[in-house]
A = this chain, B = another copy of it.
């Protein structure tokens, strides 16, 4: 048998994909916390179960969120894992970094924690994994002095995240990075001090490709879109055709609304029938571009399954112009939070709350007019709560 203390994990040093085991074993040589983490993980691999205990409230002064307490049930065997809290660091919009900034951050982290990170967490934070309770305050102080702040956790606004949008994508229909930064700054209080019925996630995508999965993973999804016609460069279309692209098969036949025509010479789009699905643009980005009247579609309510089943966000505002200071958007957010505050139950996501109260009632309460864009179809059952009627005279 091998001498290694982690024979099972060692199996994961092999293979083509980068090995976190190899990497962390190297780290373990200088980080006792990392060493014990690997030890405990090996135990989990042996026992086929987790060795983390349930929750535990820890944090930094004045903040309700941003730190997840984590304690081991095998702390006697692995003292370095006994306290192993997570610190969620609010990532910069679009996950852009310079090496300088990252190095500074890593130095701080090595000073106080295990040296283990997630680049990044599912919500978007830069995640520091494994710090003792006592080190939380000093860590936070150093972080904040290096211009870093914490992200969200608990029943607060979670760290907003966005696709890289206008920074490097020609499809972006609004400035996802700017909006994300603005929203994050505007709602610092809501982000750091849990006071909602449950968590609230913002995600900003620049176009319907939704590269940040906002429609699936955020309570409030802001997805770029345009209102006018797709811009066509017929010369570039020709070039695509000449270069061997099968426009009939790959574009015309794949258009879900059957609104692209191609006669071998020019491409025509029936923009009224177009659902702005992006497919044709995705296939021929040199030749096709979103229109010029751009903004975003606002959708609400996505979440994972528990309790009421997974939900996707659904349309709330079919189209909104998004320019600083984003007053219309922020007023809407405020009205929704007021509603949620009044009607939401504890641990009930906004999407679940809307389904319980009814989308129609919700609209009334947040002051939006119902429009058919909000639904895939009108009701098919006749169980209508009529509100107008005549009284006998």
Residues of A within 8 A of B (CB): 305, 309-310, 380-383
Contact = CB atoms under 8 A, between A and B. Distances in A.
Contact of A383 (B305, B381, B383): B305
The 3 closest A-B pairs by CB, nearest first: A309-B381, A305-B381, A305-B382
A310 B381 CA distance: 7
A382 B383 CA distance: 30
Contacts of A382: 305
Contact of A310 (B305, B310, B380): B380
A367 to B, nearest CB: 30
A105 B380 CA distance: 40
Nearest to A308: B381
A324 to B, nearest CB: 39
Nearest to A309: B381
A380 B381 CA distance: 23
Contacts of A309: 381, 383
Nearest to A310: B381
Contacts of A305: 381-383
7 contacts: A305-B381, A305-B382, A305-B383, A309-B381, A309-B383, A310-B380, A310-B381
A126 B374 CA distance: 45
Nearest to A381: B309
A217 to B, nearest CB: 16
Nearest to A380: B310
A381 B304 CA distance: 10
A33 to B, nearest CB: 33
A310 B380 CA distance: 8
Contacts of A380: 310
A299 B381 CA distance: 22
A322 B305 CA distance: 43
A309 B382 CA distance: 9
A181 B383 CA distance: 37
Contacts of A310: 380-381
A381 B305 CA distance: 7
A143 to B, nearest CB: 37
Contacts of A383: 305, 309
Contacts of A381: 305, 309-310
A310 B383 CA distance: 11
A355 to B, nearest CB: 14
A79 B146 CA distance: 95
A349 to B, nearest CB: 15
A305 B384 CA distance: 12
A380 B310 CA distance: 8
A257 to B, nearest CB: 13
A311 to B, nearest CB: 11
